[in-house]
Structure 1
């Protein structure tokens, strides 16, 4: 063969390799990042999955949503890591293609039919609208198609088979381990407004001088003589003083269009009330003493293990309250009858108050979970598995009292 043929062949061969490596790095790193972000808070991702289950009439999966989230997050991390290492290239290429086609369908469906307002692709760390998520998935699909076409060229970076198997085993253990750990012991990084150190009352207020929502009102006008109809904005209506012309009249209700979002309050929906419906929000969140806030969104969902954990929390707080000036409350979205039954079973020392489920889910990713508040500031928070005993609490918070 001629030298020119070899040169042309090598040039054509190098281009796909370069394109494959770019795609491999981009997709692999993005899948690992996406999986890790969601594995940091699988319960939150599970809440998002429940929205999709509702849309597709799969509500029977709601009770398993957190563990389904753990599996999806682990799968993303595993596929991304194996792709970078070139292990099981053909199988990984197929897995990536199936996963991205599934995600692309979901994000398009959500965006087009406006059924889910945020896809949860990167958890609460990087909120994306469904259309933004769909565009992101289309870009990813393009890179994954390149990987799929050239999947035969995905050669392992680790040549030794024992080392490859060991690396694969470690990747699986770490990928599932992160999600399982955060389910039991709360996220490593808290992206929610009730994270440690936050001042809850301040996050419920609009700062002075903060930008407000800007709206545009559109009037439909009709000429009394000619019957001509036209639409004008409120600015045009005022600037041209159309109301002074008696030949034009406003027909129907004006259309309102949001032009620009103003300042968004971080905690817009927290209302704490007692059984009689009295609003006690400020009293609870501004308490100057240590306030243990136990959160159980739905007490009917407590498993036997959860029930025992709540009993331990209750007894520890009861023991502390004998010697220290503390307040202890239970916030729940459950019906009062269910709470009364729970109280009969455990003889709760906790004062019971009622809150909508949405803010409760943001407070602590555990059922039950605990926040320690003082003057509205979140001092600490624990899952049902990590709540400390009396001795540890005394040493950390009550040693000076």
Structure 2
């Protein structure tokens, strides 16, 4: 009977150790991250071992495989069973400690191929311990299955093959990818929660002071009806809900989330560097050449790191990197790619290629159509503020009563002192400052249209120039933006009309009017002279206006206003009379 038990245990334990060792050897970096978690201050407090975690990971993986082989062969049975017993006692203690104190949520016994909870892992180790004890006490039944002279050569070849395999996966990537970010995975789908998925359940312990005595009432979330003074509440998770395979991935910068934006793009290259201080210098030089080529081919290239902005700036300067970096959780980056730096190719959020920097020359970079520029949220925010300032005192000028003035002041954020000030003086100061800023934007970005800052922010720069003395300088840029549909062309038409009126020439679209004084002290409102006035309504339609010149004139000067065609000579006469 004992012989049968030993025979079964021998095969079972050997198979389990071989499987466990090979799975972890396929991804020694991943196993080293798990060891670092165990060595950390909050678990075993053995941080001095963290620097050699990778070396220990490779050693333990190979040792598991070799012990599994020697057990199957029946080679060195005493050494084998003592080794097995020592390992299983240590791992049983470790998994119990982890489970009982809730220190490490996944033991890493089988890597990402078979994740186990701490208690599942402890149970597995207890079962293994039983089988290994059978082997220990029945080791005399562990007999060789091949000639003994062949054993050491089999072990030697196996050891050499394990070393070669470990070196290969470290220099490239794991041969078998069991992680949530394997090739073919759509990240957005991996983050989604299926309809009807179980939700987390919580127990709420409400504390009340009832007649001087503390009482605790437990509910599933609803506030209890108690005649007493509320003290506090404690929450405990009863049952964990559905957790999607990908739950910690985000692309962020300056407090803004760009995840959805980049997951919608067709051709994206992610340069993954979880820690810039640990990134390999040779790899950084390779990445520089690859990213320059990728951008030239039309790809969107971004870096993902958990390092600080200061570290990013230093690396960009040292290696002359021309792509932007975004922040992503370090654990997520380590999970995505076992390379620092490494390369991930995305197509609408689907991972199509993953490469170690050593294999950068294998990345396929066909010529692609560049995506539309992403929304610059920082610039958008600034331009939105500029647009509000542009209208601040102009809106106050429209107030007809004190009550209306006070209401508008609150709306535009004007202080009481500003509401009583010289509006034109204050607005001119704002306009001057706004113009200087917008000129800087033009120099850096060109016109900030809808593809760069979205709508309606794309109109902000137009308003500033429309209210400045720089129309003649920037009208060509504004026209180009209109032709590219970066701003509505009707705004281009309005600016062109203002430019022409300022030069004393006929306008084209009839958007500009003027008011003159008269001998009777009654103002004379006119639509500035229009070139080919008979066909102006056709031009207005093409420019995007939905009103005729007659309708527009009434909107400008009131329902009783009757549109009249003026010539430049007539306007000159009105000017002379008004003076």
Question: TM-score scaled to structure 2, two decimals?
Answer: 0.59
In the alignment, the residues of structure 2 paired with residue 69 and residue 106 of structure 1 have an alpha-carbon distance, to the nearest angstrom, of 16
Corresponding residue SS for 2:57: helix
Matches for 1:118-133 after TM superposition, within 5 Å: 118-133=106-121
- With over 3 angstroms needed to count, the CA separation of the structure-2 counterparts of 1:182 and 1:251, relative to structure 1, is same
Contact 1:29–1:80 under 8 Å retained in 2:
yes
Equivalent residue number for residue 31 of structure 2 = 45
Query: Alignment partner for residue 307 of structure 2, among 310, 319, 334?
Result: 334
Equivalent residue number for residue 341 of structure 2 = 368
Contact 2:106–2:117 under 8 Å retained in 1:
yes
Corresponding residue SS for 1:135: helix
User: Per-residue CA shift, 1:42-100, capped at 9, x if unaligned?
Assistant: 11111110111112332233232222111111111111111011111111111111111
Matches for 1:92-107 after TM superposition, within 5 Å: 92-107=80-95
Question: TM-score scaled to structure 1, two decimals?
Answer: 0.84
Query: Alignment partner for residue 255 of structure 2, among 233, 258, 277?
Result: 277
- With over 3 angstroms needed to count, the CA separation of the structure-2 counterparts of 1:191 and 1:214, relative to structure 1, is same
Contact 1:90–1:154 under 8 Å retained in 2:
no
- With over 3 angstroms needed to count, the CA separation of the structure-2 counterparts of 1:398 and 1:89, relative to structure 1, is farther
Query: Alignment partner for residue 312 of structure 1, among 268, 286, 294?
Result: 286
- With over 3 angstroms needed to count, the CA separation of the structure-2 counterparts of 1:320 and 1:115, relative to structure 1, is closer
Aligned-residue Cα RMSD (Å) equals 2.6
In the alignment, the residues of structure 2 paired with residue 222 and residue 348 of structure 1 have an alpha-carbon distance, to the nearest angstrom, of 62
- With over 3 angstroms needed to count, the CA separation of the structure-2 counterparts of 1:219 and 1:27, relative to structure 1, is same
Per-residue deviation, 1:107: 1.1
In the alignment, the residues of structure 1 paired with residue 270 and residue 315 of structure 2 have an alpha-carbon distance, to the nearest angstrom, of 17
Contact 2:187–2:350 under 8 Å retained in 1:
yes
Query: Alignment partner for residue 190 of structure 2, among 199, 203, 206?
Result: 203
Query: Alignment partner for residue 350 of structure 2, among 355, 377, 388?
Result: 377
Query: Alignment partner for residue 171 of structure 2, among 176, 180, 184?
Result: 184
Point out where structure 1 has 5 or more consecutive residues left out of the alignment: 1-14
Equivalent residue number for residue 79 of structure 1 = 67
Q: Which has the higher contact order (CA 8 A, sep 6+)?
A: 1
Query: Alignment partner for residue 263 of structure 1, among 226, 229, 242?
Result: 242
Per-residue deviation, 1:228: 9.7
Would you say 1:393 and 2:364 are equivalent positions? yes
Equivalent residue number for residue 7 of structure 2 = 21
In the alignment, the residues of structure 2 paired with residue 308 and residue 266 of structure 1 have an alpha-carbon distance, to the nearest angstrom, of 33
In the alignment, the residues of structure 1 paired with residue 210 and residue 368 of structure 2 have an alpha-carbon distance, to the nearest angstrom, of 79
Per-residue deviation, 1:219: 4.5
Query: Alignment partner for residue 44 of structure 2, among 56, 60, 64?
Result: 56
Contact 1:222–1:230 under 8 Å retained in 2:
no
Would you say 1:296 and 2:267 are equivalent positions? no
In the alignment, the residues of structure 1 paired with residue 218 and residue 284 of structure 2 have an alpha-carbon distance, to the nearest angstrom, of 60
In the alignment, the residues of structure 1 paired with residue 50 and residue 216 of structure 2 have an alpha-carbon distance, to the nearest angstrom, of 50
User: Which has more radius of gyration?
Assistant: 2
Corresponding residue SS for 2:232: coil
Contact 1:73–1:179 under 8 Å retained in 2:
no
Equivalent residue number for residue 152 of structure 2 = 165
In the alignment, the residues of structure 2 paired with residue 249 and residue 272 of structure 1 have an alpha-carbon distance, to the nearest angstrom, of 47
Query: Alignment partner for residue 90 of structure 1, among 78, 100, 112?
Result: 78
Aligned residues: 368
Point out where structure 2 has 5 or more consecutive residues left out of the alignment: 371-579
Moved more, 179-188 or 370-379: 179-188
Contact 1:196–1:381 under 8 Å retained in 2:
yes
Per-residue deviation, 1:103: 0.9
Query: Alignment partner for residue 352 of structure 1, among 302, 325, 329?
Result: 325
Corresponding residue SS for 1:253: strand
